[in-house]
């Protein structure tokens, strides 16, 4: 069966799609885990009288991720993805 998958493009594609589906599920789990923590942080910030938006922290986060990124994800795309994640999390803290 293994050789059959390697020599059969439709089966290879199906296998790769299953791999992507598993990764997507892991990403979803991690995003929800991140949001739960962010919501807790929002409560703490409120108790401390701090603002939700911390541009310095967000800049540091993006810089750290850029340094850790080994590709093939481009820096521009990395920033776009994480700015979206940050924006959604920040907006969720406001409710």
Mean pLDDT, the chain, rounded, equals 93
pLDDT at residue 5, as a whole number: 58
DSSP tag of 9: H
Structure pTM? 0.84
**C-alpha count within 13 angstroms, C-beta hemisphere, residue 46:** 10
As a whole number of angstroms, the distance between CA 26 and CA 16 comes to 15
Q: What's the topology of domain 2-93?
A: Chorismate Mutase Domain, subunit A (1.20.59)
List all residues 6 or more positions away from 31 whose beta carbon is below 8 Å from its beta carbon. 85
List all residues 6 or more positions away from 66 whose beta carbon is below 8 Å from its beta carbon. 75, 78, 79
pLDDT at residue 94, as a whole number: 81
Per-residue pLDDT of 14-32, as tens digits, reads 999 999 999 999 999 999 9
Segment 54-69 shows an average pLDDT of 96
**C-alpha count within 13 angstroms, C-beta hemisphere, residue 4:** 3
Q: Would you kindly state where each structural domain of the chain is located, as residue ranges?
A: 2-93
């Amino acid at each position: 069966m293994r050789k059959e998958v390697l020599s059969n493009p439709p089966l290879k594609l199906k296998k790769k799609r299953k791999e992507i589906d598993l990764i997507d599920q892991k990403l979803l789990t991690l995003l929800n885990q991140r949001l739960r923590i962010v919501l807790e942080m929002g409560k703490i910030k409120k108790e401390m009288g701090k603002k939700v938006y911390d541009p310095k922290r967000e800049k540091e986060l993006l810089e750290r991720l850029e340094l850790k990124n080994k590709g093939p994800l481009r820096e521009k795309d990395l920033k776009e993805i994480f700015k979206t994640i940050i924006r959604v999390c920040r907006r969720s803290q406001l409710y």
